[in-house]
Amino acid sequence: MEKIKTDVLVIGAGSGGLSVAAGASQMGASVVLLEAHKMGGDCLNYGCVPSKALIASGKVAYAMSHADRYGIASVTPQVDYAAAKDHVADVISQIEPMDSQDRFEGMGVRVIREHGRFVSPTEVEAGAYRITARRVVIATGSSPFVPPIPGLEKLPYITNETLWELREKPEHLLVIGGGPIGMEMAQAHLRLGSKVTVIEGAVALGKDDPEMAAIVIDALREEGLEIAEGSNAKEVRGTSGAIEVETEDGRVFKGSHILVAVGRKANTAGLDLDTAGIKTTRSGIEVDDTLRTSNKRVYAIGDVAGGLQFTHVAGYHAGVIIRSMLFGLPSKATTRHIPWATYTQPELAQVGLTEAQAKKEHGTKLEVVRFHFHHNDRAIAERKTRGLIKVMVVKGRPVGASIAGEQAGELINLWALVIANKMKMSQIANMVAPYPTIGELNKRAAGAYFSPRLFESDTVKKVVGFVQKWLP
């Protein structure tokens, strides 16, 4: 067995692990990277990238069938589902060189394609290698959680990992779970010609602001998506191509395929964390606000750390621990400035506190500013006026923003910047936005905050009146 000593050992070549490996290596540390499966992790191979590619196919099909509102004859698109999956594969192939073993070895990272497990608090064994590292980073991500629904194990169910192997379009897709993954894939398949039913035990998009989620859910229902809320799956039965889901309230949903999208579980199996003295929780590896585990030489980042499960959070975590590992500087992770988005159409995005959270934390100090998409000229021109921006403001500073509507995932970027840097609404109001753009909505939301202060204030009117009398 070959023994290796290194400054940093990274377990997992997903978004977080690759960011740590690249940053640490390029700043002079020796780095070993372990990955037993695909470079790029879930995001590149099963998550963010393929899902957005399939969503793009669905958008094109929808645009073709709804072109008449733009003065162009609508047509029924001829969807080739296998070709759409070829498009997905091509998108992955264009991005994967950035995450490839060759690229990281070119940076000086030693890449070992083996599964790693702790054999002591300071050593990890991977295949024919035993590695001792000054610091270890666990970035093994998460996998689809498959609930113990009776009968499910007997059927060929789909998850976000196996969906991309499917080449024949589902006639009727049953989606168990109304979260972001379930809703995104439900709409994409609906637009590509499948009948789709979403079966959700609580409420769809339940982690988002209810007012904003309702805008998206109403739009999806208008498109023809069946969404059954408050429906816990009790039993699954049938055969491939003829599946039934019975819910606890006695309803039975029939379909040809079943997609399980009820959440994620941290990938900790096989790491032998107990051997290293690393504690876990129900949601993943236990970490403090510096992202250290109970073994102070070991960090955990991204999905496996049990917090917000987004690719960009893993990247953010990488930056936090690089500061600590390489420079010995204090560095803590927070979630207050972390945005997220669901890429349905209309999109749904959030950063900071929701309205309910802000009311609970700030009480009467809170002001909630609303601005509707139907007041935006670009949205009107493109017939995409369904939407709302809602900003939670305390003493002139935004503490949260919720957006439902066209390009919500792009619009939220500005509010993420504002909240991360504790900027004021006046600074957004001072911004000049090009006309006509969807992005102008952000400035108009800031304007909505100041309008009553300027145009409904007797004091302002008195000051203006006084000045006008004395101006030459």
DSSP string, 71-102: TS--------HHHHHHHHHHHHHHHGGGG-HH
- 331: buried, middle or exposed (CB in 10 Å: 19+, 13-18, 0-12)? middle
Q: Which fold has domain 339-455?
A: Enolase-like; domain 1 (3.30.390)
**Confidence at residue 457, expressed as pLDDT on a 0 to 100 scale:** 62
| DSSP letter (8 states) at residue 202 | S
Quickly count: other Cβ atoms within 10 Å of residue 380's Cβ: 13
Q: Give Cα separations from 400 to 352, 417, 419, 471 (angstroms).
A: 4, 11, 7, 42
What CATH superfamily classification does 2-39+100-144+265-327 receive?
A: FAD/NAD(P)-binding domain (3.50.50.60)
Please give the chain's pLDDT, 472 residues, in tens: 899 999 999 999 999 999 999 999 999 999 999 999 999 999 999 999 999 999 999 999 999 999 999 999 999 999 999 999 999 999 999 999 999 999 999 999 999 999 999 999 999 999 999 999 999 999 999 999 999 999 999 999 999 999 999 999 999 999 999 999 999 999 999 999 999 999 999 999 999 999 999 999 999 999 999 999 999 999 999 998 999 999 999 999 999 999 999 999 999 999 999 999 999 999 999 999 999 999 999 999 999 999 999 999 999 999 999 999 999 889 999 999 999 999 999 999 999 999 999 999 999 999 999 999 999 999 999 999 999 999 999 999 999 999 999 999 999 999 999 999 999 999 999 999 999 999 999 999 999 998 776 566 666 666 666 677 777 7
Which pair of tokens denotes residue 113? 């394609």
Separation between Cα atoms, residue 19 and residue 185, nearest integer Å: 28
- Residue 34 confidence (pLDDT): 98
Residues 6+ apart with CB under 8 A from 53: 87, 88, 91, 92
CA–CA gap between residue 65 and residue 76 (Å, rounded): 5
Nearest to 415 by CA among 429, 427, 400, 404: 400
Question: For strand 347-352 and strand 339-342, is the pairing parallel, antiparallel, or unpaired?
Answer: antiparallel
CATH number of the 152-262 domain: 3.50.50.60
Domain ranges of the chain: 2-39+100-144+265-327, 152-262, 339-455
How far apart CA 89 and CA 303 sit, in angstroms, is 24
Q: Do the two domains 152-262 and 339-455 of this chain adopt the same fold? A: no
Quick one: DSSP state of residue 369? E
User: Is residue 14 within 8 Å of 304, Cβ to Cβ?
Assistant: no
Query: What's the CA angle centered on 195, arms 350 and 214, to 5 degrees?
Result: 25
- For residue 194, which of 165, 217, 169 has the smallest C-alpha distance? 169
Distance CA 32, CA 105 (A): 10
Helix 458-470 / helix 440-455 crossing angle, nearest 10 deg: 80
**CB under 8 A, 24+ apart: contacts of 49-52:** 49/91, 49/92, 49/95, 50/88, 50/91, 50/92, 50/164, 51/160, 51/181, 51/184, 51/185, 51/188, 51/343, 52/343
User: What is the reported pLDDT for 465?
Assistant: 65
What pLDDT score was predicted for residue 402?
98
Task: Judge if pTM exceeds 0.85.
Answer: yes
